[in-house]
Amino acid sequence: MQMDWLERLPFRLGTTSYILPDEILPNARYLAGKVRDVELVLFEVDEGQNNLPSPEDVKALRQLGSLYDLSYTVHLQLDLRL
């Protein structure tokens, strides 16, 4: 359920996916209804950490997007290639 004031804005208000000290999906759940776009800060490092969402997480993100009219943008670290 969206807040009325968000729908009246002439732009999509957004923020990054790291508001809570947690994974992407819990942050998206927290932000749903508070913003209209979540910038997914993704990283994948050879022989290191990555936070790429699992297929189940992608499905849950899509469901949140549909329910809350929430869009996503992707932010990659500067030293990574698509």
| Full domain range(s) for residue 8 | 4-76
Whether 51 is covered by a domain: the verdict is: yes
Task: Tell me how far apart the alpha carbons of residues 28 and 39 are, in angstroms, rounded to a whole number.
Answer: 10
Whether 42 is covered by a domain: the verdict is: yes
Greater confidence (74 vs 38) lies with 38
Number of domains in the chain: 1
Q: Which residues, 6 or more positions from 5, have their beta carbon under 8 angstroms from its beta carbon?
A: none
pLDDT band at 65 (very low <50, low <70, confident <90, very high): very high
Whether 41 is covered by a domain: the verdict is: yes
Q: Can you tell me whether residue 78 is helix, strand or coil?
A: coil
When pLDDT is averaged across residues 11-31 and rounded to a whole number, the result is 92
Whole-model pTM: value is: 0.79
Amino acid at the residue 32: A
**Residue 18 near residue 42 (C-beta atoms within 8 A):** no
